[in-house]
């Protein structure tokens, strides 16, 4: 929620009270964060499909999921209908699945990123409406259904939602989460004779400066375009792969 400031002015013997919206303390410009997320996602998938040994592309790709999760956290606060929002994510999960399977060579039994975003939204919905069984159900489903990012992805959505208006809490909690998140991913850099190991998924922390940038200015992008970019870019990458092979 964006709070309002109250100012007073005195004109002609009359006291006026005016309310002015405060600038957000974190980045509410979800058009911008969504655009950055899409770019990082495409770079990541180009690396997965065409340059699997080029670690830099995968590092850039770690920025995408936190920004998508942030979009869900902020979107849940502003949506007029949680039902329609959840329905859109669910439909996009179904539409995107064939492209996800073809381009990234995943089985039908592993669901794409929209599954995590959908469950993250359901968990937020449960918390907001004091129907905690929805949040518990969303978390439990990640144990029984295989999906991209799984439980850690849903927890990322919840963490960002909980800290969205507190920059210090966001910085501390998300930094700690990235360290824990990356614990089981591959090592990409060692320091101090191997005593310090930097792991791939830890690089999600690169999204933090973007989240903390207090931008109230909105970049409006067509919602349908943002949703369509996921299956569309996978379809294009798959077609390129078929052509060059």
Q: pLDDT tens digits for 63-72?
A: 999 999 999 9
Inform me whether the pLDDT recorded for 6 exceeds 50.
Answer: no
Inform me whether the pLDDT recorded for 11 exceeds 60.
Answer: no
User: Among 84, 38, 88, which residue's Cα sits nearest to residue 229?
Assistant: 38
- Pairing state of beta strands 146-147 and 110-111? parallel
Percent of the chain with pLDDT over 90: 76
Q: pLDDT tens digits for 109-155?
A: 999 999 999 999 999 999 999 999 999 999 999 999 999 999 999 99
pTM reported for the whole predicted model: 0.88
Count Cα neighbours of 84 within 13 Å in the Cβ-side half-sphere.
5
CA 202/CA 175 separation, integer angstroms? 9
Inform me whether the pLDDT recorded for 160 exceeds 70.
Answer: yes
Q: pLDDT tens digits for 49-90?
A: 999 999 999 999 999 999 999 999 999 999 999 999 999 999
Burial of 19 (0-12, 13-18, 19+ CB in 10 A): exposed
Q: pLDDT tens digits for 15-49?
A: 444 444 555 689 999 999 999 999 999 999 999 99
């Amino acid at each position: 929620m964006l709070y309002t400031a109250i100012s007073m002015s005195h004109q002609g013997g009359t006291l006026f009270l005016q309310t002015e919206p405060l600038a957000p303390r974190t980045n509410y410009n979800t058009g911008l964060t969504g655009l950055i997320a899409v770019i990082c996602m495409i770079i990541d998938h180009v690396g997965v499909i065409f340059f699997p040994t080029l670690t830099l592309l995968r590092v850039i790709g770690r920025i995408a999921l936190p920004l998508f999760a942030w979009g869900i956290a902020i979107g849940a606060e502003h949506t007029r209908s949680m039902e329609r929002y959840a329905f859109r994510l669910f439909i996009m999960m179904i539409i995107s699945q064939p492209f996800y399977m073809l381009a990234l060579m995943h089985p039908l039994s592993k669901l794409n990123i929209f599954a995590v975003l959908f469950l993250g939204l359901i968990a937020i919905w449960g918390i907001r409406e004091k129907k905690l069984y929805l949040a518990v159900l969303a978390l439990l489903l990640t144990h029984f259904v295989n999906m991209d990012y799984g439980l850690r992805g849903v927890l990322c959505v919840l963490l960002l939602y909980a800290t969205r208006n507190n920059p210090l809490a966001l910085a501390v909690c998300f930094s700690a989460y990235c360290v824990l998140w990356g614990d089981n991913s591959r090592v990409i850099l060692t320091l101090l004779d191997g005593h310090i190991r930097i792991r791939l998924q830890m690089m999600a922390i690169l999204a933090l400066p973007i989240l903390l940038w207090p931008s109230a200015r909105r970049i409006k992008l067509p919602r349908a375009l943002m949703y369509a970019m996921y299956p569309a870019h996978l379809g294009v990458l798959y077609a390129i792969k078929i052509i060059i092979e």
